[in-house]
Amino acid sequence: MILTVDIGNTNINLGIFDGDELVCTARLSTERRRTADQYAVEILNSLMLHGIKKNSFSGAIVCSVVPELNNTLSEAINVVADISPFMITSDINTGLKIIDNKSNFLGADLCAVSIGAIEKYPLPCIIVDLGTATKMILLDENGMFMGCNISPGVKTSLEALASSASLLPTVELKAPTTSIGTNTLDSMKAGTIFGTAAMIDGLAERMENEFGREIKSVIGTGGLGEEIVKCCHRDIVYDKNLILYGMRRIYEQQKN
């Protein structure tokens, strides 16, 4: 089995692969002050919850956008599974082609999610990754990373709004029945969810027009994506664990 660990700014996502099959997933909260032992306990509890023995793993891979946790999680994985995880860094060749990038490397998350899309979906494609930030990636018909755009994430925007306006509360990400809110909570939900969906529709159309060729697939992913993509007019496939599949593929490439 292969353990994939995606360290994000808000959550840490675990994925366990048995060959090509993703057999289970778990999600931990990203806490920068936690020790390796504390994370090891959480990972071990997650494995036990799904009936996975800690000696089941032949390898592990980590994708991180939180550098200060890289060593902590690597140590935790070593404690739990007695293996040293492989880390996606600028020193490796992931196989992703990148246009007009002198360093020939992207953020680990952008790279891994792109590899996942290339493996699973028809190209050209647009990937809509809704997490702490909202990222929209364009891959051409050959799987080349053509570029992306980045905007504040849905939860990030809501938290900023609630903290900056004394009378506006924090709301759950659940779409109301209409975009015309008749109370504060529904108005905030409508503006956030339908507004983000409209932005995605508009940016996808603009990206396709500027690209000059038909987009075959639009894939939504990320922890905050499911509720948003349902409100888009464009046909978007939601794949919550796309980045984990990309990480597994990168691990296989490096192992071979």
Which amino acids are annotated catalytic? Answer: 109
**Residue of 104, 60, 73 lying closest to 8 (CA atoms):** 73
Task: List the strands of the sheet with 133-139, edge to edge.
Answer: 97-98, 144-152, 133-139, 125-130, 217-221, 237-238
**Residue of 1, 2, 69, 67 lying closest to 30 (CA atoms):** 69
CA dihedral 62→64→66→72, nearest 10 degrees, is 0
Burial 222-254 (b: 16+ CB within 10 A, else e): bbbbebbbebbebebebbebbbbbbbbbbbeee
